[in-house]
């Protein structure tokens, strides 16, 4: 099959060819502008901002807002499993405890706080879910009510023989409110995303002093 | 030219019509939401499967409860509200499980989960012809006590089912920020 330039060279010039070339150019231009517009639109909508930014470091003595919750870290300590807010730990097990004040910022009572703190510690298996207790009367994972700050304790059981760390690194996770979810069209909190990294010094025993008054 | 223009106008009209429909139609959540049965404190509010009458509302700083034989005082960062209600089933036995307190500003406080062991709390099984009293206990901010609405339903997702909405009326607030009738400790071990 002959290549197209040779094929074309056989043709005699006629005004229609120019018209053809013009429409071809137009098509290229339209396609080019369309692509550029699409890339620009994607850029404006943040498609290129989704690369991994380094996670912000959160000050321990600060208030951290996570959408649903306002957190005020109080202290982190390691302790024996006995009399630890009535939490059912294995006998003789040690635990890492983070105490913090949590305020429900939403308009409804909720207990959607299981994923707010995630321990990055090598000593804590990521699959270990913490027990979460109300320090006021050791109720396990109660609903917290709008606008009422409560002290809560996150308690991770440590594996046997684990070394007690001097520092506990946590990732704080927020969620975003959607007026209508994509499945049912009902309001809710979705899309967990990290707010930042929080590093707390780990004291020994429940008498550790609070980080902030 | 005219034809093109007419097409564009038609397209715009269709777009605005579709947008109008999308914006004005009720949402799925509204369509399948609970069906309110309204009343005031002291009225018998009749729902599809149950009737409820809110008798009294009491406020307290602390609650005294019995837990496994020990007496225990439950404190709160806000105020306890205890609503004594009487339930009755209509045609068949049912269970009333969910109650919330909706304050004037729309903040919704679910029943507390801190007394799960005490008697006379929801869920309550009720049978026709055998009315039963129960206590609904809420932990509230003191500024949410006035002009509140009590919401009672049989189950959590009461889609297309009745929800009793009982207006509790205004509550005076004393100089200490609490209602004047607030008692220091309310004894939950007493029979209702």
- Taking contacts as CB-CB distances below 8 angstroms, the residues of chain A near B108 are 107-109, 146
> Domains of chain A, with CATH numbers?
57-204 (2.60.40)
The pLDDT of residue B46 is above 90: yes
> Is the Cβ of B110 closer than 8 Å to some Cβ of chain A?
yes
- Is the model more confident about A162 or about B127? B127
Indicate if ipTM > 0.90.
no
**Which residues are within 8 A (CB) of B170 and not within 5 positions of it... i.e. 6 or more apart?**
B146, B147
Residue A179, pLDDT score: 87
Burial code (b: 16+ CB inside 10 Å, e: under 16) for A190-204 equals: eeeeebbebebebbe
Residue A116, pLDDT score: 92
- Is the model more confident about B86 or about A127? B86
CB contact under 8 A, A180 and B29: yes
Chain A's closest residue to B103, CA to CA, is A107
- Taking contacts as CB-CB distances below 8 angstroms, the residues of chain B near A137 are 72, 74-75, 114
CA pair distance B79, A143, nearest whole angstrom: 16
- Taking contacts as CB-CB distances below 8 angstroms, the residues of chain B near A148 are 76-78, 139-141
Pick the CATH number of B33-187 from 2.60.40.1240, 2.40.110.10, 1.10.10.10, 3.50.4.10: 2.60.40.1240
Q: What is the pLDDT of residues B99-111, one digit of tens each?
A: 999 999 999 999 9
Going from N- to C-terminal start, the domains of chain B cover: 33-187
- For testing the chain A interface, which of B117, B139, B148 should be mutated: the one with the most A CBs within 10 Å? B139
CB contact under 8 A, A186 and B141: no
Question: Please, which residues 140-169 of chain B have a Cβ atom closer than 8 Å to chain A?
Answer: 140-141
Q: Which run of H or E residues covers position A4?
A: helix A4-9
Residue A108, pLDDT score: 93
Running DSSP on this structure, what letter comes out for residue A132? E
Chain B's closest residue to A133, CA to CA, is B114
List, for chain A, all residue ranges whose pLDDT scores fall below the cut of 50.
1-2
A161 three-state secondary structure = coil
CB contact under 8 A, A137 and B27: no
- Numbers of helices and strands, H then E, in chain B: 2, 13
Q: What is the mean pLDDT of residues B2-31?
A: 91
């Amino acid at each position: 099959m002959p290549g197209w330039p040779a094929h074309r060279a056989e043709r005699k010039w006629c005004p229609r060819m120019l018209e053809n070339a013009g429409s071809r150019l137009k098509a290229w231009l339209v396609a080019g502008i369309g692509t550029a517009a699409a890339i620009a639109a994607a850029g404006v909508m943040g498609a290129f901002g989704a690369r991994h930014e380094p996670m912000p470091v959160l000050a321990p003595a600060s208030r951290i807002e996570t959408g649903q919750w306002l957190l005020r870290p109080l202290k982190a300590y390691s302790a024996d499993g006995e009399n630890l807010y009535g939490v059912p730990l294995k006998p003789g097990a040690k635990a890492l405890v983070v105490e913090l004040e949590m305020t429900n910022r939403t308009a409804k009572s909720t207990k959607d706080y299981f994923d707010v703190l995630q321990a990055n510690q090598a000593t804590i298996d990521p699959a270990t879910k913490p027990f979460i207790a109300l320090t006021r009367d050791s109720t396990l994972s109660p609903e917290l009510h709008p606008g009422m700050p409560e002290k809560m304790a996150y308690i991770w059981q440590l594996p046997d023989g684990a070394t007690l760390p001097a520092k506990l690194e946590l990732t704080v996770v927020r969620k975003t409110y959607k007026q209508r979810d994509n499945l049912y069209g009902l309001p809710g909190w979705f899309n967990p995303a990290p707010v930042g990294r929080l590093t707390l010094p780990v004291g020994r025993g429940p008498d550790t002093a609070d980080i902030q008054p | 030219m005219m034809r093109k223009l007419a097409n564009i106008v038609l397209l715009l009209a269709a777009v605005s019509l579709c947008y109008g429909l999308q914006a004005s139609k009720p949402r799925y959540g509204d369509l399948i939401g609970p069906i309110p049965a309204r009343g005031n404190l002291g009225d018998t509010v009749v729902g599809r499967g149950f009737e409820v009458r809110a008798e009294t509302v009491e406020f307290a700083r602390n609650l005294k409860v019995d837990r496994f034989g020990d007496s225990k005082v439950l404190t709160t960062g806000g105020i306890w509200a205890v609503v004594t209600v009487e339930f009755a089933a209509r045609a068949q036995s049912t269970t009333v499980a969910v109650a919330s307190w909706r304050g004037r500003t729309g903040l919704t406080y679910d029943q507390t989960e801190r007394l799960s062991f005490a008697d006379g709390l929801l869920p309550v099984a009720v049978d026709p012809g055998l009315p039963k009293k129960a206590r609904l206990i809420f932990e509230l901010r003191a500024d949410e006590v006035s002009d509140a609405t009590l919401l009672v339903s049989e189950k959590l997702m009461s889609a297309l089912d009745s929800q009793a909405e009982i207006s509790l009326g205004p509550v005076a607030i004393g100089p200490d920020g609490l209602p004047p009738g607030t008692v220091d400790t309310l004894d939950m071990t007493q029979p209702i």
